[in-house]
Structures are given as C-alpha cells and as structure tokens.
Amino acid sequence: MSGELSPIDKAKYTAAKQAAALVEDGMRVGLGTGSTAAWLVRHLGERVRDEGLRIKGVPTSTRTAELARDVGIEVITLDEAKTLNLTIDGADEFDGNLNLIKGGGGALLHEKIVAAASEEVVVIADAAKQVGTLGAYPLPIEVIPFGWTTTQMLVEELLVSADVMGRKITLRQNGDTPFRTDEGNHILDLHLVRIGNARQLAMALNQMPGVVENGLFIDLCDKVIIGYGDGRVETRDINEGTVSEDRISFADSDNLFSDL
C-alpha cells in the first residue's frame, strides 16, 4: 500500500513517524498544521489506539483539531494546557540555524503561539525544505482586514530599506475571495527571494500596525527531523549540535495507509 505514496509523501510520513516516537505518556503536545503535521497526527492516533498512549493535544488549526479528534487524540485548548511539553510541526523552509519560514497553510499565528508555549519544538520536513538562506518561499504575514491595503503600503515602504532581494506582495486568495485565517484575518505573501537578516525583518514587521504576526520563526525550533522517500531519517539537534541517522520501515500492514 505504501508503494502508492509519492516519494515526497513517503518522506513526510517518515519524518512524522520518527517524531511521533518522541511523544511520551502524559504529555501535552502542540499539533502543527499542514500535510506533514497531518501524518504526525495520524501516527499519534495509531499510538493512542494500539499502545494506549495518553496525551492531550493542542491543535494549531481547526483542520488539525478535526483530524486529531477523528484519530482519537484528546484535544484541549492552549488556555487549558497553558504550557506544552512538546510541539511538532511542519515548515515551509528551514536554514542551518533551524530558523524557519512557516504559514504556507495560513496557521502561522496559532503555530507561533503554540511553539512559544512549548518546552521543545521539533520540525518535521522533507529535504526540499532545507535552504542556505530563507526567503525563496514567500514569507506570509497575518494582517487584520481593517485597512489591509494601507498595511500593505507600509510593509512595501519597510521593504525598501530591508535586506531582501524581492519586494512583491500578494494577498492570499481562497478561490475568488481573500483567504481568512482561523482568526478571521488576511495573509499577505511577501515574495522576498532572499532574506539577508531574518531576525531584524521579523522584529520590524511585528512593529507595523495592522500586522498581527509574521511567518519567521527565529530561535524557536530545537530539532529538525528530515525524512527521505526511501525511509532514511535524519535528526539535527541545534542545542546539542548533534546529527543522527535512522531508518523507518514502511510496514505493509500499517493501518495509516488504508485510511487514505
């Protein structure tokens, strides 16, 4: 059955399975958003069902909350959890310092709040997400709908003096209408090509009125788990400065594939 998955999906499956093994009984776990994080939620659901793993999950989006409930994970709010033992999430890009661009799925605000509430943050990704310098993937910023065109103008002005290569900004769409986040806000995608100083840009963007949050995750990620289509998996720990390798097998009996 696993043979029907594309190499990229196998890579996401692999990274997610390795990360799911980090979750221990009794943990409060932040559950990310996106296709890689969805694999994580399915793997955790399988552990809940097969091993009786008891965890409380704090989802970063309504989509993730729905999937988590479907697979039998107990869902609580961040206000109930207050702090989290571990968050596992995907990313659109990560660099050598494990700084990230996130928000491709539009959940960056909840994802950043949940990451900041966590003792440990683990990113799961396929190797294509790794970059030397952040910025090829458009940087999402969440803006409130009131006066969003004025906010866009202010961001355009900010970018003139920022260390970036591109300056195009687009309003994210959902079909014919502007995309709305779970908070009812819009997303502006900043096509920057290359971000010379991500830390400085993240701080400057968050000082603009109308900008709620930006998709640069600086110093938030502790580990990245990179999955490959052949089952290899690499874990980089930024705090320990270690890199380790492992291999995940695609068991034909794996229930997750039959759910697809």
Residue 138 engages ligand 5RP in binding (rule: CB under 6 A):
no
For the stretch 184-203, what's the b/e string if a residue is b when 16 or more beta carbons lie within 10 angstroms of its beta carbon? ebbbbbbbbeebeebeebbe
Task: Read off the tokens for 81.
Answer: 């959890």
Minimum CB distance to ligand 5RP, residue 174 (Å): 14
Interacting residue with ligand 5RP among 89, 93, 213, 222 (CB under 6 A): 89
What number of residues does the chain have? 260
In the annotation, is 111 catalytic?
A: yes
Coil, helix or strand at residue 29 = strand
How many residues in the shown chain lie near ligand 5RP by CB under 6 A?
A: 18
Residue 90 touching ligand 5RP (CB under 6 A): yes
> Which tokens go with 239?
């705090």
Half-sphere exposure of 154 (CA within 13 A, CB side): 15
Told to check if 135 binds ligand 5RP by CB under 6 A, we report: no
SS3 label, residue 122: strand
Specify whether the CB–CB gap between 191 and 168 falls below 8 A.
yes
Q: Are 212 and 224 in contact (CB under 8 A)?
A: no
Q: Pick one of 15, 73, 91, 211: the residue that binds ligand 5RP (CB under 6 A).
A: 91
190 binds ligand 5RP (CB under 6 A): no
Query: Per CB under 6 A, does 104 bind ligand 5RP?
Result: yes
User: Which residue among 10, 43, 102, 236 contacts ligand 5RP (CB under 6 A)?
Assistant: 102
Chain centroid offset of residue 141 CA: 14
The three-state secondary structure class of 67 is: helix
Site for ligand 5RP contains 92 (CB under 6 A): yes
- The active-site residue, picked from 111, 157, 234, 245, is 111
Out of 45, 59, 103, 210, point to the residue binding ligand 5RP (CB under 6 A). Answer: 103
Stretch that binds ligand 5RP, among 29-37, 68-76, 223-231, 244-252 (CB under 6 A): 29-37
Joined tokens for residue 1: 């059955």
Give the one residue of 30, 57, 59, 105 binding ligand 5RP; rule: CB under 6 A.
105
H or E element at residue 247: strand 242-247
Min. distance of Cβ 107 from ligand 5RP in angstroms?
4
* Burial of 247 from C-beta contacts in 10 A (0-12 / 13-18 / 19+): exposed
Determine if 93 is a binding residue for ligand 5RP (CB under 6 A): no
What tokens does 165 get?
């290569």
Residue from the set 44, 53, 68, 107 that interacts with ligand 5RP by CB under 6 A: 107
Binding site for ligand 5RP (CB under 6 A): 32-37, 89-92, 102-108, 111
Enumerate the active-site residues.
111
